[in-house]
Copies of this chain bind each other. A is one copy, B any other.
Amino acid sequence: MLHSLIMILDWFGICVFAITGALVASRKQMDIVGFAMLGSVTGIGGGTIRDVLLGIQPIFWVEQPAYLLTCVLVACATFFFAHILHHRYRYLLWFDAIGLALFAVTGADSALAHGASPSIAVAMGVATATFGGLIRDILGGESPVILSQEVYITAALSGAIVFVGLVGLGASQDVAVVMGFAAGFGLRAAALHLGLTLPRYRPKNGFNGDQ
């Protein structure tokens, strides 16, 4: 039953990321094909990099084209309904948080399933959760804001560490998934609700950081 829940959340995460890619396309006033491309790249980009790095072949959406087709459909729908979603931008951030937390766990899980060590599994969780958005920002000509929203990457990192740590401690897969998701989503939710940030690097007084 939990496996079904993961599947549902996985598809939900892909759809939400595809929407965020389409929203960047809407900000650039692209046409519907631009929406489809940015939506697809954002929805399946993180998992694609994970599969390439782990040497998993065929890549998940090459094996199951439904992933790609779903991204295209969601992005095209956003083309027509983006004005509604914009008004609900705040809700989208919360959906995005769900996708982030979920991909951190499923990315790490996929790496462990392919024999990766714990530290690599954590890295793959972070990569799966964040690289789709990075590619979206670069292709869309946006500043890669993901790097300046520290609680974004940190939330993915936390979720992946909790999941991999619990698996390593012998916890059941179910518990590890739930706790990892809760850690990642909880931290991101705190960031969204309370404005939680980590300290940023500050150049020392008298020093010009732009040299």
| Interface residue ranges, A against B (CB under 8 Å) | 25-35, 37-38, 40, 48, 52-55, 57-59, 61-62, 65, 68-69, 79, 82-83, 86-87, 89, 116-117, 119-120, 123, 126, 134, 138-141, 143-144, 147-148, 150, 153-154, 157, 197-204, 207, 209-211
- Checking B27, B38, B134, B211 against A210 with a beta-carbon cut-off of 8 angstroms, the contacting residue is B27
Chain B residues with CB under 8 A of A59:
53, 55
Please classify the interface of chain A as helix (H, G, I), strand (E, B), loop, or mixed, using the class held by over half of its residues.
helix
Q: How many copies does the complex hold?
A: 3
The answer to whether B53 and A201 have CB atoms under 8 Å apart is: no
- Among residues of B, the one whose C-beta sits closest to the C-beta of A155 is B33
Chain B residues with CB under 8 A of A65:
117, 119-120
- Among residues of B, the one whose C-beta sits closest to the C-beta of A24 is B147
The answer to whether A134 and B141 have CB atoms under 8 Å apart is: no
- Among residues of B, the one whose C-beta sits closest to the C-beta of A141 is B143
**Min CB distance, A152 to chain B, in Å?**
9
- Among residues of B, the one whose C-beta sits closest to the C-beta of A123 is B68
Chain B residues with CB under 8 A of A203:
26, 29, 83, 86
Chain B residues with CB under 8 A of A211:
86, 89
